[in-house]
């Protein structure tokens, strides 16, 4: 999105303010490291578990909610109706409609925005937004060559054609297609892309390790004070995020070898990058009236949202920089400054993602040349950033991260008191970014 698109900033609102969707509560299962606790759980198992915990917490068994929108990034072909199937396997009324959403790592937050917008427009009174991902139970497909041969065989009408099709078979076609964490248009992994951006911005190894260590410390502290008691339901014996290392230190993190980038300047390690993770989350949204009728608390309202995308293929912009571009639209529409937010959640795809995003907003040059702003957005008080930890500690089952953050931030804002505002920023593959603003009810 080019900065000039800002001319349409205020055009999206029709006459009168629509109502705001309420964030009522959330639930997630603890996140597990790849091929560990949830190695044999499917996306549907995990999404169903997340929904079931949400239903139990809010007394929704047998109820028909307006809709359930959720998705997964790594998805089997059989899961074409993943969310609806999960609803059918849950205690919700079978008359609850559902659909799948997929916007890479933005899936969970985008789903919440979709449901929230329908509530705001009065099309539904309640809804559940969620996401799930498994890096363990990955969809392995047949080799592309084999697939083509089989399809040709299927189309063959005569014995001769069939024989001819079969002659296309090669031993090499037995190698299956395994999903890879790479951008199709560059062939580079997300980590390699991030390493390039981090290098451009001169992000230090120490700064990244500090982000990682505080993520672990903050998440551990949140567990210790029972913050997740009403945000999480155990699954398959896991009661805490498996990736969490409460005793992580900058010193220990400094000993790890870089895994992305090359040579002297390589700064990104397994410690300051999120690991592949399995898990699911779900958020309950509704109108204030719907919540009130059921005696359910309203933690926060969904105030606004913005997505953006960058041209990382030919446009000389970092793959994960899109949130930096989304923010000015939100600020302008809401008449806010970055510094007005009481809490900010920037998804830690990599520690460097957080740091480059913050650096970009502080950069006069970037804000002027790339965002078309007269002045830089400015620095963010770090005490307001990811105060209960983020993906580096919790892990990042792609589509589940949005739901994790929306529910946690809503609760944090509620604890701060009415009117407190929070910002969510999630970068996604394909050079995209999703942002949202919540305000404590």
List residues with catalytic annotation: 105, 396, 427
Stretch that binds other proteins, among 234-242, 280-288, 303-311, 400-408 (CB under 8 A): 234-242
Give the DSSP letter of residue 417.
-
Q: Are 402 and 108 in contact (CB under 8 A)?
A: yes
Query: Binding other proteins by CB under 8 A: which of 31, 38, 201, 235?
Result: 235
Token couple for 150: 């089989």
Q: Which parts of 188-227 interact with other proteins (CB under 8 A)?
A: 226
Interface residue with other proteins, options 294, 333, 368, 382 (CB under 8 A): 294
Does 229 bind other proteins (CB under 8 A)? Our answer is: yes
Among the listed ranges 199-207, 232-240, 354-362, 417-425, the one in contact with other proteins (CB under 8 A) is 232-240
Q: Which stretch binds other proteins (CB under 8 A): 93-101, 233-241, 388-396, 416-424?
A: 233-241
161 is a contact residue toward other proteins (CB under 8 A): no
Answer yes or no whether residue 350 interacts with other proteins by CB under 8 A: no
Contact pick of 52, 67, 342, 439 for other proteins (by CB under 8 A)? 52
Which of 20, 28, 58, 118 is the binder for other proteins (CB under 8 A)?
Answer: 58
Question: Please, which residue, 225 or 257, has the CB nearer to other proteins?
Answer: 225
Q: How far apart are CA 48 and CA 259, in angstroms?
A: 35
State the minimum distance, in angstroms, from the CB of residue 236 to other proteins: 8
118-129 burial, b if ≥16 CB within 10 A, otherwise e?
bbbeeebbbbbb
For residue 426, the surrounding DSSP H or E stretch is strand 421-428
# binding residues, other proteins (CB under 8 A): 24
**Residue 61 binds other proteins (CB under 8 A):** yes
Task: Using CB under 8 A, pick the residue from 177, 210, 230, 288 that binds other proteins.
Answer: 230
Is there binding between residue 232 and other proteins (CB under 8 A)? yes
Give the footprint of other proteins on residues 82-111 (CB under 8 A).
91
Q: Which two tokens stand for residue 282?
A: 């779900």
Q: How far is Cα 408 from Cα 169, in angstroms, rounded to an integer? A: 52
3-state secondary structure 117-180: HHHHCCCCCEEEEEEEECCCCCCCECCHHHHHHHHHHHHCCCHHHHHHHHCCCCHHHHCCECCC
392 near 352, Cβ under 8 Å? no
List all residues 6 or more positions away from 217 whose beta carbon is below 8 Å from its beta carbon.
Answer: 246, 248, 389
Specify the DSSP element, H or E, that contains 22: strand 21-28
- Residue 421, strand partner residues: 439
Distance of closest approach, residue 79 Cβ to other proteins, in angstroms: 22
Determine contact, residues 33/274, Cβ cutoff 8 Å.
Answer: no
Which of these segments, 65-73, 151-159, 231-239, 426-434, binds other proteins (CB under 8 A)? Answer: 231-239
For the beta carbon of residue 333, count every other beta carbon within 10 angstroms: 17
In the set 239, 316, 339, 418, which binds other proteins (CB under 8 A)?
A: 239
Total count of residues recorded for the chain: 441
Q: Which residues bind other proteins (CB under 8 A)?
A: 49, 52-53, 55-59, 61-62, 91, 226, 228-230, 232-235, 239, 294-297
């Amino acid at each position: 999105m080019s900065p000039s698109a800002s001319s349409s900033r205020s055009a999206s609102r029709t006459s009168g303010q629509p109502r705001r969707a309420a964030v009522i509560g959330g639930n997630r299962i603890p996140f597990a490291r790849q091929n560990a606790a949830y190695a044999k759980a499917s996306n549907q198992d995990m999404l169903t578990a997340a929904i079931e915990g949400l239903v139990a917490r809010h007394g929704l068994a047998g109820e028909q909610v307006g809709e359930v929108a959720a998705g997964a990034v790594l998805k089997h072909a059989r899961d074409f109706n993943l969310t609806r199937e999960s609803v059918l396997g849950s205690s919700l009324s079978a008359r609850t409609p559902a659909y799948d959403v997929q916007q890479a790592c933005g899936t969970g937050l985008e789903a919440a925005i979709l449901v929230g917008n329908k509530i705001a427009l009065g099309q539904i009174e309640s809804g559940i937004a969620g996401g799930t991902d498994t890096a363990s139970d990955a969809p392995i497909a047949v080799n592309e060559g084999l697939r083509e041969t089989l399809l040709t065989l299927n189309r063959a009408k005569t014995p001769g054609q069939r024989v001819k099709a079969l002659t296309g078979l090669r031993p090499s076609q037995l190698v299956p297609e395994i999903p890879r964490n790479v951008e199709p248009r560059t062939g580079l992994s997300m980590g390699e892309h991030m390493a390039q951006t981090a290098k451009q911005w001169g992000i230090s190894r120490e700064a990244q390790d500090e982000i990682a260590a505080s993520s672990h410390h903050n998440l551990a502290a949140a567990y210790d004070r029972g913050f997740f008691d009403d945000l999480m339901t155990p699954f398959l014996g896991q009661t805490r995020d498996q990736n969490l290392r409460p005793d992580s230190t900058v010193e220990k993190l400094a000993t790890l070898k870089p895994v992305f980038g090359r040579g002297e300047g390589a700064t990104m390690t397994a410690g300051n990058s999120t690991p592949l993770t399995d898990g699911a989350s779900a958020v309950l949204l509704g109108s204030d009236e719907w919540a009130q009728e059921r005696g359910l608390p309203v933690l926060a309202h969904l105030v606004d949202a913005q997505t953006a995308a960058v041209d990382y293929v030919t446009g000389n912009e970092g793959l994960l920089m899109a949130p930096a571009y989304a923010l000015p639209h939100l600020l302008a529409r809401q008449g806010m400054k970055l510094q007005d937010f009481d809490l900010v959640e920037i998804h830690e795809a990599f520690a460097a993602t957080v740091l480059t995003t913050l650096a970009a907003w502080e950069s006069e040059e970037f804000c002027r040349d790339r965002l078309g702003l007269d002045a830089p957005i400015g620095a963010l008080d770090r005490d307001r950033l990811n105060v209960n930890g983020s993906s580096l500690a919790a892990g990042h089952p792609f589509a589940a991260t949005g739901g994790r953050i929306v529910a946690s931030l809503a609760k944090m804002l509620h604890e701060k008191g009415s009117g407190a505002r929070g910002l969510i920023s999630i970068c996604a593959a394909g050079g995209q970014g999703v942002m949202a603003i919540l305000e404590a009810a």
